[in-house]
Amino acid sequence: MPGPYQVWGQGYAPFARPAPVNGVAIAALVLGLLCFLPAVGLILGIIALVQIKKRGERGRGMAIAGAVVSSLGLALWALSLSTNVASEFWEGVKEGARGSGYSLAAGDCFDVPGSFDRDVYDVDEVPCTEPHEGEVFGTIPLSGDDYPGDGYVTDRAEDDCRPLQDAYAMDPWALGDEVDVYYLTPTADSWEWGDREITCVFAHTDETGTLTGSLRADETTLDADQLAFLKAMAAIDDVLYEEPDDYAEEDLDANKDWAADVRDVLAAQAGALDAHTWSGDAGRSVDALVEEMRDARADWAKAATAGDADTFYLHYESGYAYVDGDTTVAARKALDLATTPPSYDEDEGDGGDSGSGSGSGSGSGGSGSEDV
C-alpha cells in the first residue's frame, strides 16, 4: 500500500495539495482596491508578506498588489485633503441624497405619495392645469449649523408664510373655502443633509381633494385695474384684522385708537381708487364703492371719538356695513375678479384666513424632510 504523503516541513502542506491562500493578503488587496482604508491595506499587505514567507502560503502577489494600491490610495487621499477634493466629494454625496427629496419654487404644483398629515419624503411635480394636491406660493430660507428645533421652525412658517401668501394670491376671494395653507418644513434628520428651507403650500382642505388651475394672482397675472383695486382692499383688510381682542366695554381706548386707524386707511384708499384711471365700465362701479367707503369713514371717525361702548358699537356696525357688500361685489364683477365673499372663522383672531394646517415633509428624505 502506498504510504502517506510526505510532509515538507512545518508550515508546508503535504505534497500534491495546494498551499492555502493567506487570508491577510486577500484583506490587504480588498482594502487597497476599495481605497476607503488605504493605510490598513498597506499594513495588512506587509503582515501578509511576512506570514507567507514563514508559512509557505500563497497570495504573495495579492499582498504586494494590496500594499502598492494602498500606497497609491494614501497618496491620493493626501492630495485630496490638500486640494479640498475630499470635501467636495462629500458635498457631492450629500447633494445626491438631497436629490432623492424635492426642490420646489413658488408656482410649482405637485402630488405627494401619501398625504400632508404625515412626513413627506418626495413629491411629483405636475402641471398646475392638471388636478394636483399642492401648489407652492413661497419658500423661506433658514440658516445655521444646528437644527433650531421644531417650535422655531413652525413659528417661522406661521409668521413668514402669511406675507408670501398675500403677495402670491392677492385676491383672497379667489381662494375659496376649500383651500388651506400647509408648510413643508425641515426636521432634525433632514437638517443634517442640508435641508434649510420652509415651503409654503396651498392644498385642499379635504386630504383626498385636489386643486385644478393655479391660484396665483399677482403682478404676473393681474392687469393694472385689478392690481390697483386689490392693493387698496388689502390695505383696508390689514387694518381691519388688527381689531383689539378686548371688547370696547373692556378697553374703550384701544378700540377707539383702532377705529381711528380704520378711518385713516379708508380715507387713503378711497383717494387712491379715485386717482386711478379705470378702463371700460369699471370706473362707475368703483366710484360707487368709493362713495360707500367715504360714508363708512365718517362712521369710523365717530367711533374713534365715542364716549362709551354703546356709542362706539353703534358707529362700528354702520362703518362695517359696506364691507363685502353689494357695491364691493359689483366692482369686483366689473373688474373680472371673484365675486363670492369668503367665509370667516369667528375663532380666528388675525383676520379672515380660512385656516392653516401643518403636516410634515422632507426635502432631503426625512420629514423629512420637511413639514407641511
Same-domain pairing of 206 and 254: no
Q: Of 131, 148, 351, 158, which Cα lies nearest the Cα of 239? A: 351
Same-domain pairing of 329 and 180: no
Confidence of residue 189 (pLDDT cuts 50, 70, 90): confident
Give 249-265 pLDDT, tens digit per residue.
999 999 999 999 999 99
Q: Residue 368 falls within a domain, yes or no? A: yes
What is the model's pLDDT at position 342? 83
Same-domain pairing of 115 and 201: yes
Instruction: Please state, in angstroms and rounded to a whole number, the distance separating the CA atoms of residues 351 and 372.
Output: 22
Q: Residue 88 falls within a domain, yes or no? A: no
**140 three-class SS:** strand
Give 298-322 pLDDT, tens digit per residue.
999 999 999 999 999 999 999 999 8
Position with higher pLDDT, 50 vs 56: 50
Q: Residue 97 falls within a domain, yes or no? A: no
Mean pLDDT lowest among 44-58, 114-128, 322-336: 44-58
Query: Does the predicted model carry a pTM greater than 0.75?
Result: no
Percentage with pLDDT > 70 across the chain: 63
Q: Residue 195 falls within a domain, yes or no? A: yes
Same-domain pairing of 130 and 205: yes
Q: How many domains does the chain have?
A: 3
Q: Residue 230 falls within a domain, yes or no? A: no
For residues 231-266, b (16+ Cβ closer than 10 Å) or e, as one string?
ebbeebbebbeebbeeebeeebeebbebbebbbebb
Q: Of 78, 70, 60, which Cα lies nearest the Cα of 34? A: 70
Confidence of residue 357 (pLDDT cuts 50, 70, 90): very low
Give 81-139 pLDDT, tens digit per residue.
566 655 554 454 444 434 345 678 999 999 987 666 556 777 889 999 999 999 999 99
Q: Residue 235 falls within a domain, yes or no? A: no
| Domain that includes residue 62, residue range | 23-83
| Domain closes at, from 55, 83, 111 | 83
On the question of pLDDT at 224 being above 90, the answer is yes
Cα four-point dihedral sign 337, 343, 345, 346 = positive
Percentage with pLDDT > 90 across the chain: 51
